[in-house]
Amino acid sequence: MKASGDAFRARVLAAVQGIPSGRVMTYGSVAVLAGHPGAARQVGFVLRGLPDAADADVPWQRVVNASGGISTYRVGAGELQRALLEAEGVAFSAAGRCDLRVYGWWPPDAPG
Binding site for DNA (CB under 7 A): 1-2, 4-6, 8-9, 26-28, 36, 38-50, 60-61, 63, 65-67, 71-72, 74-75, 77, 81, 95
Is residue 97 classed as helix, strand or coil in its secondary structure? strand
Amino acid identity, position 60: W
Nearest distance, CB of residue 106 and DNA, angstroms = 13
Q: In the chain, count H helices and then E strands.
A: 5, 2
Nearest distance, CB of residue 40 and DNA, angstroms = 3
φ, ψ for residue 110, nearest 5 deg: -90, 150
Q: Which is nearer to DNA, 41 or 89 (CB)?
A: 41
